Chain A
Amino acid sequence: MSATHPVSLSVNGEQISRLVEPRETLADFLRRDLQLTGTHTGCEMGVCGACLVLMDGRPVHACLTFAVQASGAVVETVEGLSESAEIADLQRTFHERNALQCGFCTPGMLVSAHGLLTRPGVPSREEIRDALSGNYCRCTGYEAIVDAIETVARRRSAGERAARFLEEPA
Chain B
Amino acid sequence: MNAPLGALDRPNSYIGRSVSRPNAKRLLAGRGRYVTDLVLPRMLHAAFLRSPYAHARIVSIDLDEARAMPGVRLIATGADLAKLCKPWVGTLDHFKGMKSASQLPLPVDEVSWSGQAVVAIVAESRAQAEDAAEAISVEFEELPVVSDIDRAREAGADRAASTIEDNLCFTSRLDTGGIDEIFASAFHVVEEEFHFGRHTAVTLEPRAIVADWDASEGKLTVHHATQTPYQFQDLYARHYSIPEVNVRVVAPDIGGSFGMKLHVYHEDMAVIGLSMLCGRPVKFVADRIESFVSDIHARDHRVHARMAVDGDGTILAMDVDDVTAIGAFSTYPRTSAVEGNQVIRLMGAPYRFRNYRAGLSVVFQNKVQTSQYRAVGHPIACAVTERLVDMAAEKAGLDPAAMRERNLIADDAYPCDSPTGYKFEALSHQESLTKLKALMNYDALRGEQAALRQRGVHRGIGIASFVEISNPSPAFYGIGGARISAQDGALLKMTPSGEVRCLISVTEQGQGTETIIGQIVADQLGVAHERVRVITGDTEVTPHGGATWACRGAGIGGETALQAARKLRGNIMSLAAAILQAKPGELDMRDGVVVDALSGAERISLAEIARIAYFRSDTLPPDASAQLSVAHHYAPQGYPFAFTNGIQGCHVELDAETGFVKILKHWVVEDCGRIINPLLVDEQVRGGVVQGLGAAFFEECLYDENGQLTNGSLADYLVPMACEMPDIVIGHIETPTADTALGAKGCGEAGTAAASAAALNAVNDAMSPFGASIAQIPMTPARLLKALGTI
Q: List 13 A-B contacts (CB under 8 A).
A: A37-B32, A42-B205, A98-B20, A98-B24, A102-B510, A104-B205, A105-B204, A136-B714, A138-B203, A141-B751, A142-B690, A144-B683, A169-B530
Q: Is the CB of B288 within 8 A of A138?
A: no
Q: CB of B563 within 8 A of chain A? A: no
**Of B25, B70, B203, B253, the contact of A166 (CB 8 Å cutoff):** B25
Q: Is the CB of B714 within 8 A of A47?
A: yes
- Residues in A with CB closer than 8 Å to B9 are none
- Residues in A with CB closer than 8 Å to B684 are 101
Q: A101-B687, A135-B722 are in contact. Are A43 and B30 (CB under 8 A)?
A: no
Scan A19-44; emit 1 where CB is below 8 A from any B CB, else 0: 00101000000010001111111111
Q: CB of A4 within 8 A of chain B? A: no
Q: Is the CB of A165 within 8 A of B28?
A: yes
Q: Is the CB of B723 within 8 A of A129?
A: yes
Q: CB of B21 within 8 A of chain A? A: yes
**Of B29, B127, B714, the contact of A82 (CB 8 Å cutoff):** B29
Q: CB of B131 within 8 A of chain A? A: yes
How close is A64's CB to chain B, nearest CB, in angstroms? 12
- Residues in B with CB closer than 8 Å to A125 are 727
How close is A81's CB to chain B, nearest CB, in angstroms? 8
Q: A104-B255, A143-B727 are in contact. Are A79 and B30 (CB under 8 A)?
A: yes
Q: Is the CB of A43 within 8 A of B25?
A: no
Q: CB of A100 within 8 A of chain B? A: yes
Q: Is the CB of B32 within 8 A of A38?
A: yes
Report the nearest B residue to A45, measured CB to CB: B715
Known pairs A38-B30, A142-B686; list 7 more (Cβ under 8 Å).
A95-B25, A101-B512, A104-B203, A128-B722, A133-B721, A137-B204, A138-B691
Q: Is the CB of B131 within 8 A of A1?
A: yes
The B174-231 residues at the A interface (CB cut-off 8 A) are 201-206
How close is A162's CB to chain B, nearest CB, in angstroms? 13
Q: CB of A15 within 8 A of chain B? A: no
- Residues in B with CB closer than 8 Å to A82 are 28-30
Q: Is the CB of A94 within 8 A of B28?
A: yes
Q: Is the CB of A143 within 8 A of B510?
A: no
How close is A57's CB to chain B, nearest CB, in angstroms? 18
- Residues in A with CB closer than 8 Å to B30 are 36-39, 77-79, 82, 107
Scan A126-140; emit 1 where CB is below 8 A from any B CB, else 0: 101110110111111
For the side of the interface on B, what is the size category?
A: 35 or more
In Å, the complex CA distance between A30 and B36 comes to 14
Q: Is the CB of A103 within 8 A of B24?
A: yes
Q: CB of A70 within 8 A of chain B? A: no
Q: Is the CB of B205 within 8 A of A102?
A: yes
Q: CB of A54 within 8 A of chain B? A: no
- Residues in B with CB closer than 8 Å to A50 are 204
How close is B33's CB to chain A, nearest CB, in angstroms? 8
In Å, the complex CA distance between A103 and B34 comes to 10
Q: Is the CB of B28 within 8 A of A100?
A: yes
Q: Is the CB of A103 within 8 A of B255?
A: yes
- The 3 lowest CB-CB distance pairs between A and B, nearest first, are A38-B30, A103-B27, A141-B686
Q: CB of A110 within 8 A of chain B? A: yes
- Residues in B with CB closer than 8 Å to A138 are 201-204, 256, 258, 687, 691, 719
Q: Is the CB of B511 within 8 A of A101?
A: yes
The A63-97 residues at the B interface (CB cut-off 8 A) are 77-79, 82, 91, 94-96
- Residues in A with CB closer than 8 Å to B722 are 128-130, 132-133, 135, 137, 142, 145-146
Chain A, interface SS category: loop
Q: CB of A7 within 8 A of chain B? A: no
How close is A117's CB to chain B, nearest CB, in angstroms? 15
Q: CB of B713 within 8 A of chain A? A: yes
Q: A45-B288, A48-B714, A170-B530 are in contact. Are A98 and B21 (CB under 8 A)?
A: yes
- Residues in B with CB closer than 8 Å to A140 are 683, 686-687, 690
Give the interface centre of B509, B689, B721, B727 by most chain A CB atoms within 10 Å: B721
Q: Is the CB of B37 within 8 A of A37?
A: yes
- Residues in A with CB closer than 8 Å to B702 are none
The B691-746 residues at the A interface (CB cut-off 8 A) are 691, 713-715, 719, 721-723, 725, 727-728
**Of A38, A101, A110, A132, the contact of B510 (CB 8 Å cutoff):** A101
- Residues in A with CB closer than 8 Å to B33 are 37
Q: A23-B127, A44-B288 are in contact. Are A95 and B725 (CB under 8 A)?
A: no
- Residues in B with CB closer than 8 Å to A43 are 288, 713-715
Q: Is the CB of A170 within 8 A of B22?
A: yes
Scan B302-316; emit 1 where CB is below 8 A from any A CB, else 0: 000000000000000
Q: CB of B411 within 8 A of chain A? A: no
- Residues in B with CB closer than 8 Å to A94 are 24, 28
In Å, the complex CA distance between A36 and B32 comes to 11
Q: Is the CB of A104 within 8 A of B723?
A: no
Q: Is the CB of B256 within 8 A of A104?
A: yes
- Residues in B with CB closer than 8 Å to A95 are 20-21, 24-25, 28
How close is B286's CB to chain A, nearest CB, in angstroms? 11
Report the nearest A residue to B509, measured CB to CB: A102
Q: Is the CB of A103 within 8 A of B719?
A: no
Q: Is the CB of A103 within 8 A of B723?
A: no
Report the nearest B residue to A94, measured CB to CB: B28
- Residues in B with CB closer than 8 Å to A142 are 686, 690, 722, 725
Q: CB of B680 within 8 A of chain A? A: yes
Q: Is the CB of A42 within 8 A of B29?
A: no
In Å, the complex CA distance between A14 and B719 comes to 37
- Residues in B with CB closer than 8 Å to A137 are 204, 722
Q: Is the CB of A103 within 8 A of B687?
A: no
- Residues in B with CB closer than 8 Å to A38 are 29-32
Q: CB of B111 within 8 A of chain A? A: no
- Residues in A with CB closer than 8 Å to B785 are none
Q: A102-B509, A166-B29 are in contact. Are A141 and B34 (CB under 8 A)?
A: no
- Residues in A with CB closer than 8 Å to B680 are 98
